[in-house]
Structure 1
Amino acid sequence: MKTVLITGANRSIGLETTKQLSEQGLFVYLGSRDLAKGEEIVKDLFEKGFENIKAIQIDVTNDESVQKAKNIVEKEQGKLDILINNAGILGDVPQDSSSTSVEKIQQVFDTNFFGVIRVTQAFLDLLKKSDSPRISNITSGLGSLALHSDPTWKYYAIKAVSYVSSKTALNAFTVTLAYELKDLPFKVNAIDPGYTATDFNHFNGPGSVESAASFIIKHTVTDEDGPTGKFFSNDIEDESEESPW
């Protein structure tokens, strides 16, 4: 049975991804900053018939928390097959480039960018023990510099410096990590689940969490011939589903 860790999995897209992967027979560590809250969610999932899910405390901004989570997975599983770096924050709005403080920008980067690096580096040796390791960095179409430079893009006017910059940086990390691991069986990709209606955006997005989770899984649970170092988006109306960087 393949083992998955999803950060920020106690709600919205992360929670739905947990449910769908459980239904597909994978064992999922439901990452939550608040362990009690995560355990309560897992209890509810069990009552609804879901199996092979365990809540695990992980705060991606805290070294000790991440290391403790890694130790638990190592002790219980000995390896990790799939890491889905899903935890993310929007930050305070508005986010004007001319006035948003460095401290506010750093706060968003701590979760969306440095948090991903912290978790990935901590779990890398466990992923290397898998026959088919996968790392999916959950990004946003707002991280695309190409789209942000296109006045015809439907989200062109959304220029939130903290969030946008953090996701662009995350995309860059994805590219460099995929290249570094290219001679190993890793598949490392940036995945944009699309503009989805969640509490993250006050339920303003047109997409559903079911569609978002399904898209993430489609581009995560891939075979040995699957792509790596790509940027997939659920908002791209193209057969390839690839977003410009």
Structure 2
Amino acid sequence: MSVSTRIALVTGANKGIGLEIARQLAQAGVFVIVGARDPGRADEALKSLLSQGLAAQSVLLDLNNSSGILAAAETIRAEHGRLDILVNNAGIVDAKDGPPTSSSPDAVRRILDTNFVGTLAVTQAMLPLLRQSAAARIVNLSSSLGSLTLNGDPASPYYAARLIGYNASKAALNMLTVQLAEELKETAIVVNSVSPGYVKTDLTGHNGFMTAEEGAKLPVKYALLGDDAVSGKFVEPNGETPW
């Protein structure tokens, strides 16, 4: 591999939008590391990419396994010495999530532990590798459901989507973007929240208006931002989103 080849880790990249992000990054000449918690699904995703002549490998990565996260970071360090792109895509929903008056606190805790705390843990573990890059990019896969402004606007199409666990997890992820972008503003690391749109995946029950291929385009764009990249933004396909 050329030393100029960018190296990307995409979490939850074994299916859906994560796999499509990995595919599009690889098609752009990036060496992609497929992060997945299930070895069998990781192998299937990797075979899919390799069969298309794309450069990739896989690493076991469970956002709820702190020792496994550190082991994944060590694997990347030992084999590559750096990371140029981190796409925090992995996340979950829970059938017992719902409005604040009726959602299961255990479900909310599971969602927050994965979508926010797990993503924070992955980001912290990968930061030493990202600091070795000349121009690192972190893309946090958010959702317009994480916008406090839109959640409080009766005219918003997201107003009625009362999922306290999921929405709160994405609002927390946006806070990670805001604070991390500020903390790293004197470095070469750019951090942004990207809402891919309403994509037809397992996460949405295959509802939505976009295919995984369409939904991957904006996260990939922000992962590949050039020297004029701006940090600390929250965007969706239609433009910048209010926090």
Matched, 1:194 2:192: no
Q: Which residue of 2 aligns with 1:121?
A: 124
Cα distance in 2 for residues equivalent to 1:216 and 1:23? 14
Q: Which residue of 1 aligns with 2:50?
A: 46
Q: Alpha carbon RMSD of aligned pairs, Å?
A: 1.1
AA of the residue aligned to 2:78:
K
Alignment deviations for residues 58-111 of structure 1 (CA, whole Å, 9 cap, x no partner): 001111110110011001000000000000001124512013232221100011
- Is there any run of 5+ residues in structure 1 with no aligned partner, and where? none
Identity in percent: 40
Q: Which residue of 1 aligns with 2:181?
A: 178
Q: Which residue of 2 aligns with 1:108?
A: 111
Match of 1:232 among 224, 227, 235: 235
Matched, 1:56 2:59: yes
- Is there any run of 5+ residues in structure 2 with no aligned partner, and where? none
Cα distance in 1 for residues equivalent to 2:115 and 2:53? 29
AA of the residue aligned to 2:19:
L
TM-score (norm 2): 0.95
The alpha carbon displacement at 1:123 in A equals 0.7
Matched, 1:32 2:36: yes
Alignment deviations for residues 27-84 of structure 1 (CA, whole Å, 9 cap, x no partner): 000011012321122123322x232111110001111110110011001000000000
Match of 2:17 among 10, 13, 37: 13
Residue aligned with 2:207, SS: coil
Q: Does the 8 Å CA contact 2:49/2:55 hold for their aligned counterparts?
A: no
Alignment deviations for residues 132-184 of structure 1 (CA, whole Å, 9 cap, x no partner): 01111100000001011111111211010000011001101110000000011
Residues matched between the structures, number: 239
Q: Which residue of 2 aligns with 1:71?
A: 74
* Runs of 4+ off more than 3 Å: none
